[in-house]
Structure 1
Amino acid sequence: MELKRVVVTGLGALTPIGNTVPEYWNSLINGVSGAAPITHYDPEKFRTKFACEVKNFNPEDFLEKKEARKLDPFVHYAIAASDEAIKDAGLDFPNLDTNRIGVIWGSGIGGLKTFTDEVMNFANGDGTPRFNPFFIPKMILDIAPGHISIRHGLRGPNFSTVSACASSTNALIDAFNYIRLDMADIIVSGGSEAIINEAGMGGFNAMHALSTRNDDPTTASRPFDKDRDGFVAGEGAGSIILEELEHALARGAKIYAEMVGGGMSADANHITAPHPEGLGAKLVMTNALRDAHMTPADIDYINVHGTSTPLGDISEVKAILHMFEEDAFRLNISSTKSMTGHLLGAAGAVEAIAAILSVQNDIVPPTINHFTDDPSFDPRLNFTFNKAQKRTVNAALSNTFGFGGHNASVIFKKYKA
């Protein structure tokens, strides 16, 4: 069976540095930080008092007030980003076969705010179980693609992927495979996350995973800097319309890039720590390149996982050096988490958009907040520190790794007929 070709025809983003794709991309290439003191709740008693929150977002711009109240913020974000992507792709659903249009959506945690609020209300009551009837359907992860499909009447494959911070990259890979195996024409894919609340931040603080640079939140996310001290939590959503090439051409769709490969692997090492030599990370990039029928020499840019944790950044760089060898010094490498923070389950989709736009525009967004070189890293590596760089980007690879040892990588390249 000959595999179908898959292209990107629409993008949508709701991020801490921009509520649309143009705003997001402009902030990326200009090195804007989304970190600021937390406003969603009073963080005074928490070790970390800042995060990368979505700003100036009102779900009622997308939903009726009554409907918005029935949904968790991670679904609000999913609807906003997917609406933008669908509009960007010019999808006229009444004139398309919606039986062959699906939604595959990733989230690492789902409706954490809903879960927290409901359990706290019960705990603070008299023991009588007065739970909101929307508690369960607001909380479960698969409700995001469910709402997107209901909103647009899409009857194709519909489910969620859960692999911690690799969740939405796995969603993209599943969508890619469904299309190239001719099981769908179009998939609305992506991911969303909304964990900036007491439970989310308290839990990650208890793990000592978050930066505690409360005196300077704007520069707290410092991937590959000697003084990095943990990741900065982010929230939001990214949505990518993947479409079978001939279907896209037949309807005259614009094409951002072609998705050509996806890889998956496991560290099989530790529930939270990456393999110290980056073996799982090397394997996932190897698998993605094999799937794309490409070699390391074909990649120009890697949007790395790069969370700004002491161990994680070292592990990923070791994997790149092992995988790419001398080609590693020709690459541009950057971590856009230095600007957006870590969007957990939504990170893969949001960062894939950055990779796609780098391919389209031949610009590599920077790794900001670099102040002190880390002697652990080979000085010949180009981390694109502090300033975007113009270069031809024929192909870009995007990495995401999750707690549990889940690794996923995707590759996009310039579309050629």
Structure 2
Amino acid sequence: MKKRVVITGAGTINALGHDVPSTLAAMREGRCGIGPLDIPDVDRLSVQIGAQVKGFEAEGIFNRQQMSLYDRFTQFTLVAAREAIAQAGLEFHGDLAAQSGVVLGNSGGGMTTLDANYRSVYEEGKNRVHPFVVPKLMNNAAASHVSMEFNLKGPSFTVASACASSNHAMAQAFQMVQSGMSPVMITGGSESMLCFGGVKAWEGLRVMTKDTCRPFSANRNGMVQGEGAGVFVFEEMEHAKRRGAEIMAEVAGFAMSSDAADIVMPSKQGAARAISGALANAGLNPSDVCYINAHGTGTAANDKTECAAVADVFGSHADHLMISSTKAMHGHCIGGTGAVELLACIMALRDGIIAPTIGYEEPDPECALDVVPNEAREVRVDAALSNAFAFGGLNAVLALRRV
């Protein structure tokens, strides 16, 4: 018998806030976290903006030994994990520790470590690097440190599927709890690519805007990179109820698909299969869904394709849907983006507040859906979807219910 899976803890750090309350407040207010980048050699970049985490002093949070092991993406993950697990009120000992694990999404790994050490070797001519460079930059570093800090001895690993990494990771965690393999899984994702090399690489794709992100707006001109982490406690519902935990939302189902078509251009058919598959897996009818947190990158290719896929799946009900992209606020957090965006779905389900698509200026006839332009909206939401569509044609959609 399949178990029901609920969220009992959430944590984050991103350009909007260093925790969940401040992030949700910023989403409600439609605040923009995009601004000038503060990184070395920014003057050599043609794109000089990003949704950067400001005011984060890692030295005050981690000791010297930890700093030698933690890349910025790992630091973000641990900050978010501590908040999520503290909110859930869990401690992991005995059988619970042995069965519980961590599955995180990440795309680039320790990009700031990689960038700094390339500089050291190639620019400064040094012949040696720190002995912890490899364990610091590896993609699974964050998952491993979370498992060590919280005594999580069950299934633990990292999923890397570009911009769908977090949703793929959370889908795996959901399955493990649903199947009875694990009563609790820590899941989500993180990314910190806002270093010179990380931004320069994305510049080459020519999908980046130099001013700001305007998803679904006719005058949009590209995406903005962000950074940060979102971490959640996925718990078997009866386990959560027995210990009197606060339940934030229920994870009802998911689906994944591959476009099998193009390495960068999205496919309407692939996106539609993932959306309709998530509805079927969750036992939801299209009319049950009130809100979709869109992938919504602010590129013409994504926005038009995503809206067409939503229209195909929902048919006449598409006119009654609200669909917003929060990337205009916190940027595109790449492998961590689905995790940060899941917070908007939780806010919609728990608090009845839909985060807006800010920066919206001109209607686009090819994106003729209710994109909740510029101002948050109060409405009861019983079911929501969170979309993630990645380079490589890899799609993952999560379905959630109000509890």
TM-score, length of structure 1 as denominator length: 0.95
Residue 203 (structure 1) aligned with residue 201 (structure 2):
yes
Aligned partner of 1:171 in structure 2 is 169
Distance 1:304 1:136 in 2: 35
| Secondary structure in 1 matching 2:365 | coil
Name the structure 1 match of 2:287.
Answer: 297
2:89 equivalent in structure 1: 90
Shift of 1:348: 0.7
1:125 Cα deviation after fit: 4.9
Name the CA distance, whole Å, in 2 between partners of 1:123 and 1:246: 55
Select the residue among 395, 398, 401 that pairs with 1:410.
Answer: 398
The AA in structure 1 aligned to 2:130 is: N
Q: In the aligned structure 2, how far is the partner of 1:41 from the partner of 1:221?
A: 23
- Aligned to 1:398, which of 378, 383, 386? 386
The residue type equivalent to 1:292 in the other structure is A
Which among 234, 239, 243 is matched to residue 242 of structure 1? 234
d(CA) in 2 for partners of 1:321, 1:40: 41
Q: Are positions 1:30 and 2:22 aligned together?
A: no
Give identity over the alignment, percent: 36
Partner of 1:333: 323
CA distance in 2, matches of 1:8, 1:404: 29
One-letter amino acid matched to 2:386 = S
Name the SS for the 2:311 alignment partner. Answer: helix
Counterparts in 2 of 1:118-267, with a 5 A limit? 118-126=117-125, 128=127, 130-213=128-211, 220-267=212-259
Structure 1 segments (4+ residues) deviating >2 Å: 92-96, 124-128, 375-378
Cα offsets for 1:293-328 (capped at 9, x unmatched): 111111010000000001110000000000001111
Match status 1:81 vs 2:80:
yes
Q: Per-residue CA shift, 1:205-252, capped at 9, x if unaligned? A: 011021122xxxxxx110011111110000000011000011111111
- 1:344 corresponding residue in structure 2: 334
| Residue identity opposite 1:294 in structure 2 | L
1:16 aligned to 2:12?
no
Root mean square deviation, CA, Å:
1.2
Equivalents in 2 of 1:403, 1:47: separation in Å?
22
Cα distance per residue 1:96-120 (max 9 Å; x no partner): 7201111111101111111122122
Structure 2: segments with no counterpart, 5+ residues? none
Letter in structure 1 aligned against 2:115: T
Indicate conservation of the 8 Å contact 1:240/1:353, yes or no.
Answer: no
1:309 counterpart = 2:326 = no
Structure 2 distance, partners of 1:43, 1:125, is: 18
TM-score by length of 2: 0.98
| 2:370 counterpart of 1:382 | yes
DSSP 3-state at the match of 2:44: coil
SS of the residue aligned with 1:109? Answer: coil
More displaced, 66-75 or 221-230? 66-75
Partner Cα separation in structure 1 for residue 345 and residue 64 of structure 2: 35
CA distance in 2, matches of 1:211, 1:393: 33
Distance between the aligned counterparts of 1:62 and 1:83, measured in 2? 11
Does the 8 Å CA contact 2:93/2:151 hold for their aligned counterparts?
no
Q: Distance in 1 between matches of 2:204 and 2:303?
A: 21
Shift of 1:176: 0.3
Amino acid at match of 1:308: G
Equivalents in 1 of 2:90, 2:215: separation in Å?
38
Provide the C-alpha distance between the structure 2 equivalents of 1:181 and 1:5, rounded to a whole number of angstroms. 9
Secondary structure at the residue paired with 1:188? strand
Q: What displacement does 1:265 show?
A: 0.4
Amino acid at match of 2:51: C
Secondary structure, counterpart of 1:195 in structure 2:
coil
Aligned-pair CA distance for 1:350: 0.8
Aligned length: 403
In 1, Cα distance between equivalents of 2:13 and 2:38: 17
In the alignment, the residues of structure 2 paired with residue 68 and residue 401 of structure 1 have an alpha-carbon distance, to the nearest angstrom, of: 33
Alpha-carbon offset, residue 131 of structure 1: 2.2
Contact kept, 8 Å, 2:39 with 2:196, in 1: the verdict is no
The answer to whether the Cα contact below 8 Å between 2:8 and 2:233 also exists between their aligned partners in 1 is yes
Q: Measured at CA, do residues 125 and 53 of structure 1 come closer, stay the same or move farther in structure 2, by a change above 3 Å?
A: closer
Unmatched 5+ stretches in structure 1? 214-219
Counterpart contact for 1:78–1:191, Cα < 8 Å: yes
Q: 1:274 aligns with which of 266, 273, 291?
A: 266
- Once the 2 structures are TM-superposed, how far is the Cα of residue 70 of structure 1 from its aligned partner? 2.1
**2-structure distance, mates of 1:90, 1:62:** 21
**Shift of residue 64, structure 1, vs aligned partner:** 1.1
Which deviations, in whole Å up to 9, do the C-alpha atoms of 1:1-22 show, x marking residues without a partner?
A: x101100000001010111000
